[in-house]
Structure 1
Amino acid sequence: MILIWQRLLKNTKISGITLFPFIILRKPEYRTDQILLNHEKIHLRQQAELLVIFFYVWYVVEYYYLYFKLKDSFLAYKSISFEREAYAMENDLNYLDSRKIWSFWKYILD
């Protein structure tokens, strides 16, 4: 389900965020951005694979590990395996049709 929640993302640079089972967008016009939606749907699949809670734990642990290693919050975010997969495959609108389970694994600390 796609929600528009401008207040939640108002003072951020975030266009969208996935909090299983929702995709939350900052602006109504983002509903038609197929690349952004595909990126967020990849996160939905990742979250489902890791039974949601393990996704969030893994995400936070990996982020802080990378943050302390790289000393840069944006670079740490972009280096998280889940984000690397989503950014790498967001332009392939058919990716989820052929994606194998735990495909984010190949992006871990690569």
Structure 2
Amino acid sequence: MNTKFEELHDFFGAYFHQDWTIEHESAEEVISAFLTESDIDVLRLVQQEINLLIRDNKDEQKLREYLLKELSCYYCYWNEWGTGEHWLLHIASRLDIMINQLDSST
């Protein structure tokens, strides 16, 4: 198991596992499920780890391999997104919106 990004590994492994397309119609639906099923502390940790992964500046091929082999992500983002960085930034943005909503409701 990847210990550098434990929460990110848990997120991808639990939500973008090999059979994610059986449970969800789209990657956006998967992200929405995660956002509604997770508490704010988990959302913050996943967001932090996504930001750290982006800062690692892996080239596109290495990022694809890392997401699959180390983080157990079985979503082929390159079919919908230009780069892995763009997709990860999108997830981080959705996390930010949800975290802000939860913060403002407390």
TM over 0.5: no
More strand by share: 1
TM-score by length of 2: 0.29
Q: Normalized per residue, which structure has more helix?
A: 2
